[in-house]
């Protein structure tokens, strides 16, 4: 295996040093390192972050390979600085058996761009009626620890309670898509002044908050572990904040789009901005930024949701929910959190690498950049700027809400266990 000498990287924005990578691990970190056999990567002015970990990705395979595959999604992830992604269970067939999760896990290995860690469904077929074989998925080769019906809410209180209890046996966590179904029947966008004006059925904040409130109480009651997916409202931040004060074992996630975009974009009726949970108000955006800054929200999860063009080139209400995010997440976080002084680069490493790996129980991801650790590294140029071009993406899909927007930063290199998946900003060939 080849060696890389990363020179003059600014590690977590705290210390400029050289990083010597050999045999998949960080061999040493220090000043003026030398290694004759190593390929030199000049990293002056670049921030070195631990390889990013996305707790919330839709890779669409199996079933919707027209939208994304494990390979293309992995490549998009690598281009975004990621070295691991959690692949959501709402595939076709649903990842609700050991067989399906192992298939996804194996496809990830074959692709080789990031560690693809499957998420298992909580209920059979995401139907919310009976528990999937959570233990079998946990025991499978994929070693599933995160379970989610994402896209749908485990709204039945008894089922949610049992799931929370059951996964305690193998250190699992339930990642809840918090959406009270009756309050959101036919919902199209955030319920507020704008939904009334646009005549689009509203998705009220309370439909998210009511489920989160219930779930933190259930979690406390059964002493389990809850992860709240893509939290989007000010009220949700408040509920999670209080729950943490009370010692409930709850973690929460926010998406890049909820950190930046607001419901005003729905005015265009362009479904590229249609997502679930919906884009909220500017006040909510402020609240989730504050929540991410103070640690109430633990992680940024992309909810990268590829859709083929025809599912977006239509009327708003017929369009699919979801938007891409893997390749823009770090730029959005820089724009909304770092450049605004809400978060340091060390904070970014925590929210986008250390903590998501911890929540998902990934042993050799989200590790500190010190000698002896796996060489999962992202080199990022915070001074670069780009105009987002949806066609310049590794993803198969183009439903990019940031199209034509200026975003700061650029991922220059990504190393997965010492192998560059991206170098000089370009995706590398991986020989599996």
Partner 1 sequence: MRHLLSAGDLSRDEAIQILDTAEELLNVASRPIKKLPTLRGRTVVNLFYEDSTRTRISFEAAAKRLSADVINFSAKGSSVSKGESLKDTALTLQAMGADAVVIRHHLSGAPHRLASSGWMHGAIVNAGDGTHEHPTQALLDAFTMRRHLGDLTDRRITIVGDVLHSRVARSNALLLSTLGAEVTLVAPPTLLPVGVEKWPVHTTYDLDSALHKADAVMMLRVQAERMQNAYFPSAREYSRRYGLDARRMGMLPDHAIVMHPGPMNRGMEISAEVADSVRSVIVEQVTNGVAVRMAVLYLLLSGSNESDPIPESLV
d(CA 1, CA 196): 60
To partner 1, the closest distance from the beta carbon of 64 in angstroms equals 18
Query: Using CA atoms, how far apart are residues 136 and 27, in angstroms rounded to an integer?
Result: 37
Residue 171 or 181 with smaller CB distance to partner 1: 181
Between the alpha carbon of residue 166 and those of residues 91, 172, 222, 357, 365, the distances in Å are 23, 8, 10, 21, 26
User: Which one, 197 or 370, has the nearer CB to partner 1?
Assistant: 197
Q: Of the two residues 281 and 334, which places its CB atom closer to partner 1 in the complex?
A: 281
* Residue 390: φ, ψ to 5°: -60, -20
Q: Is the peptide bond before 62 cis (omega within 30 degrees of 0)?
A: yes
User: Choosing from 54, 115, 303, 311, which is the catalytic residue?
Assistant: 303
User: Please, what is the minimum distance in Å from the beta carbon of residue 266 to partner 1?
Assistant: 9
In the complex with partner 1, which residue's Cβ is closer, 263 or 328? 263
CB of 174 to partner 1, least distance (A): 31
DSSP 176-245: E----TGGGTT--EE-SHHHHHHT--EE-HHHHHHHHHHHHHHHHHHT--EEE-S--SHHHHHHHHHHHH
DSSP secondary structure letters along 130-176: SB--HHHHHHSTT---EE--TTS----HHHHHHHHHHGGGGT-EEEE
Contact present, 189 and 277 (Cβ < 8 Å): no
Question: Is there a catalytic annotation at residue 303?
Answer: yes
Q: b/e for 89-120, b at 16 or more Cβ within 10 A?
A: bbbeebbbbbebbbbbbebbeebbbbbbbbbb
Q: Which residue, 64 or 312, has its beta carbon nearer to partner 1?
A: 312
Which residue, 92 or 310, has its beta carbon nearer to partner 1? 310
Neighbour-count burial for 131-158, b at 16+ CB within 10 Å, e otherwise: bbebbebbebebbbbbbbbbbbbbbeee
Eight-class DSSP state of 124: G
**Contact (CB, 8 A) for 137 and 98:** yes
Give DSSP secondary structure letters for 71-114: HHHHHHHHHTTEEEEEEPS-SSS-S-SHHHHHHHHHHHHHH-SS
Q: How far is the CB of 313 from partner 1 (least distance, A)?
A: 5
Least gap, CB of 201 to partner 1 (angstroms): 8
Of 97, 87, 86, 94, whose CA–CA distance to 63 is shortest? 94
First to last CA, the chain: 13
Report the residue number, 193 or 339, with the smaller CB distance to partner 1: 193
In the structure encoding, which two tokens stand for residue 25, read together? 């691990």
* Least CB distance to partner 1 at residue 318 (A): 6
Quote the CA–CA distance of 376 and 264 in Å, as a whole number.
38
Query: 304 or 312: whose CB is closer to partner 1?
Result: 312
Cβ neighbours, 10 Å, residue 369 = 22
Interface residues toward partner 1, by CB under 8 A: 188, 191-202, 204, 268-270, 310, 313-318
Find the shortest distance in angstroms from Cβ 183 to partner 1: 12
Q: Minimum distance between the CB of residue 206 and partner 1, rounded to whole angstroms? A: 11
The residues assigned a catalytic role are: 303
């Amino acid at each position: 295996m080849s060696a890389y000498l990363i020179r003059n990287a600014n590690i977590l924005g705290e210390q400029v040093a050289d990083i010597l990578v050999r045999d998949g691990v960080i061999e040493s970190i220090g000043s003026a390192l030398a290694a004759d056999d190593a390929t030199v990567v000049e990293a002056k002015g670049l921030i070195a972050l631990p390889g990013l970990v996305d707790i919330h990705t839709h890779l669409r395979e199996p079933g919707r390979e027209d939208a994304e595959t494990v390979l293309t999604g992995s490549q998009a992830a690598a281009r975004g600085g990621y070295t691991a992604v959690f692949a959501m269970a709402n595939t076709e067939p649903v990842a609700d058996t050991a067989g399906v999760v192992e298939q996804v896990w194996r496809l990830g290995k074959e692709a080789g761009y990031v560690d693809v860690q499957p998420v298992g469904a909580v209920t059979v077929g995401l139907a919310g009626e009976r528990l999937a074989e959570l233990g079998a998925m946990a025991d499978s080769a994929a070693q599933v620890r995160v379970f989610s019906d994402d896209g749908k809410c485990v709204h039945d209180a008894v089922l949610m309670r049992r799931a929370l209890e059951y996964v305690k046996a193998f250190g699992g966590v339930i990642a809840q898509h918090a959406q009270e179904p009756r309050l959101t029947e036919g919902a199209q966008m955030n319920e507020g002044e704008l939904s009334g004006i646009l005549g689009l059925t509203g998705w009220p904040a309370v439909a998210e908050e009511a489920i989160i409130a219930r779930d933190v109480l259930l979690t406390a009651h059964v002493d389990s572990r809850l992860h709240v997916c893509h939290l989007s409202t000010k009220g949700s931040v408040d509920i999670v904040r209080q729950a943490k004060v009370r010692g409930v074992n709850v973690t929460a996630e926010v998406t890049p789009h909820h950190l930046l975009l607001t419901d005003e974009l729905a005015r265009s009726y362009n479904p590229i901005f249609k997502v679930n949970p919906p884009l909220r108000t500017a006040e909510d955006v402020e609240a989730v930024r504050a929540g991410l800054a103070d640690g109430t929200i633990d992680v940024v999860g992309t909810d990268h949701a590829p859709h083929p063009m025809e599912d977006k080139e239509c009327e708003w209400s017929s369009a699919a929910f979801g938007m891409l995010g893997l390749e823009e997440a770090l730029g959005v976080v820089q724009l909304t959190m770092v450049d605004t002084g809400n978060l340091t680069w060390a904070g970014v490493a925590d929210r986008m690498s250390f903590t998501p790996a911890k929540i998902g129980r990934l042993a050799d991801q989200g590790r500190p950049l010190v000698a002896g650790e796996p060489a999962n590294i992202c080199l990022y140029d915070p001074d670069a700027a780009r105009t987002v071009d949806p066609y310049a993406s590794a993803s198969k899909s183009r439903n990019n809400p940031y199209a034509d927007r200026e975003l700061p930063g650029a991922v220059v290199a990504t190393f997965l266990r010492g192998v560059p998946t991206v170098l000089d900003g370009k995706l590398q060939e991986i020989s599996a």
